[in-house]
């Protein structure tokens, strides 16, 4: 699951997919952004969560210090390539990759609520 350690994050990782695992050292909530200091045995990394990401921002109100969490970051280029496989439907999104198709239902915050088709080949 983990790809990198918190204390070893630097500019060389810009544009790459990174997954960190650790403990919440401190949370600072502001009007439009939350700062989560994530800690592991190599050091600290600051995770910035904008309010526009409603689901992730809401989690910051539910977790406390010393909570164990995993955080994933994907590069914008990777997200855009990934997003091209999705088309908007009335209930959510349709994912298409080669011969595989899956329908995903999402709630008002954009969280996937039903995704059973992901486990079934078309």
Q: Map out the domains of the chain as residue ranges.
A: 6-75, 85-119
Q: 6-75: what CATH class? A: mainly beta
CA proximity to 86, closest of 77, 78, 95: 95
Per-residue confidence at 116, pLDDT binned at 50, 70, 90? low
Per-residue confidence at 122, pLDDT binned at 50, 70, 90? very low
In tens, the pLDDT along 19-69 reads 899 999 999 988 888 889 999 999 998 888 888 888 888 888 888 889 888
Per-residue confidence at 82, pLDDT binned at 50, 70, 90? low
Beta bridge partner(s), residue 106:
112
Q: Is the pLDDT of residue 100 over 80?
A: no
C-alpha span between 77 and 16 (Å, rounded):
9
C-alpha span between 118 and 112 (Å, rounded):
11
C-alpha span between 25 and 46 (Å, rounded):
10
What pLDDT is recorded for position 20? 92
What pLDDT is recorded for position 26? 92
C-alpha distance from residue 84 to each of 93, 94, 99, 102, 116 (Å): 11, 11, 15, 14, 21
Beta bridge partner(s), residue 95:
86, 102
What pLDDT is recorded for position 111? 57
């Amino acid at each position: 699951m983990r790809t990198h350690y918190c204390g070893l994050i630097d500019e060389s990782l810009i544009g790459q997919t990174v997954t960190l695992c650790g403990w919440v050292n401190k949370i600072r909530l502001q009007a439009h952004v939350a700062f989560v200091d994530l800690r592991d045995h190599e050091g600290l990394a600051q995770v910035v969560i904008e309010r526009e990401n409603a689901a992730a921002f809401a989690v910051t109100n539910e977790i406390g210090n010393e909570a164990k969490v995993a955080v994933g970051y994907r590069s914008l280029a990777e997200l855009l390539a990934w997003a091209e496989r999705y088309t908007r439907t009335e209930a959510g999104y349709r994912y298409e990759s080669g011969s595989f198709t899956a329908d995903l239902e999402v709630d008002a915050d954009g969280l996937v609520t039903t995704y059973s088709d992901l486990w079934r080949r078309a």
